[in-house]
Chain A
């Protein structure tokens, strides 16, 4: 494969950008702290990657498809899971089950609004997220419940030098990649995103595909919420906030086509690392919050342009 062909792969840009941000940060410290920085990027990037992969599946369905209820689903799943576990040892799997059930429920509810009431997904998921957030507030009542110690150790621990949450994110990435590239369902999703009517007329069960995508994004968000709450010592009502924009940004920076029909799993991970590294780079250069936001936005735009203009035929 030539260099040009490599550059024409849209996900390479996210990884290049992540590597540059990494190098720029280390340039300031003359290489010290490289391991720590990589470890932190993998830890925090894992949460963005998990929600990003869910969002990617929905965005692949084509224009107008997006899940804006990710933050609320994360918060609700984490809140209910921690409440059920109530810091008791040995309840980690019970909590996981509750979190995943919450994700299943919100995913089905989102799709029901979209399918039965024919609401645009943006409206449906945004409106539903208000309900999920309210449920979280109502059930939480200001309490901050700590995760069970074993679970907290797992979420902050490491295996073979990599954070456990990163292993979870990598395993999910592998599964999503296999499903998209090799499975019948993945083909259906990609076809539906290119031309819904043509996919339907080719005999594909497009509504089932859409339903599965919306349920998957919610389950991924619930899992991310569960892990994030365990990682950070408890659920907070604003814990999902930054993942609304983050989930969409990592999909777009990662080279997935917003027009639908084209997914990019490696790009999501590269973009998730980049999103963490660019903030830590600007922090270490002493940029203030305002400057940081402006630069982050500018860099995102630059990468999206670079990735999309290099795509052949796009």
Chain B
């Protein structure tokens, strides 16, 4: 009876842990047509998820062999362990690897393990180890180096950047069309997305920018500095940063910043944690105190700091702190938000650069899953969500000749709301125009409002 054997397009994926990242993954991956089984100890969470998404639920301990068998590990393609506990995640993946030849992805957050993550990955045969706090810290650090941007992500091994900026009042970009921008300022950057009044568009040549728009540009690492300078968006280099809350992401971020020579001050309430941080980060200034105490913030120089980064575990506190800092200082603001329920409100608050660590984690896993599903001709290197998951920037490695190769881009019939925004050709970064050509071996970045692209050929009508 073939109907029982035909596998619907998509992978069989087991997700262990129905926390925030687990939920985001379920939402994304089920929309992309994969067969998902979600495992969690909490029956109420499972029944919530199975009534909202088209996935199967399984209540039990994800590291137990019997639960895994019930969830179908034996013919699964991928197991993703994203429970609260690092040890449980590793155990889940290790056990699954014993019975099944599925790929395994584990989340690992404790700094004790994350230093060994490469070793663990190889020894345990995992496909990927993700440290969301570390990844979030890397993304935040990139914005700190480039304070004019709301968000900056690198791709193609750091050769190019996606940078998000907000056009200030009276900027020269106000009332300028995309075509004029190319003629008057530079052709070496590409605007691949504009958000205005909550709507996102991928703009054409006649699109007119105006003040208040949030735009996403793709540029080579060299070009973006000079572009920002030429439109008058220059802020001084960040020399010192103030971090509120001394959690894991604060540690990772401080570690990166200190290595780059940026002075870090961490305000943390818990005395023991402060001492621990002092051990881990001898160069940082650790203040033991309540970060929400405005007097203390004043004493510690909130008015003069170059960057202010609230990283407490409470979203409301982070938002209030960012708003407070915005009022009394001109520091670069970076806000971490853990829950996605109030994205609209957060966006309307204008909190500067806002980061959702779980989107960062989900993006990485999504890139991996897409690459697994991809046709042999092209490989996905990275997937980034732009504008809170309303658009995607996908980097493909073109390994074979196909319909998209060898033709000038202007001759390709590309889908609506899809843009080829970067071509990496033989080590050279190209911001493409209509005359450029994709060749075998190139790295190509596509920005699109469609979801589920897993092959470069998907961009064609």
> Is B a genuine binding partner of A?
no
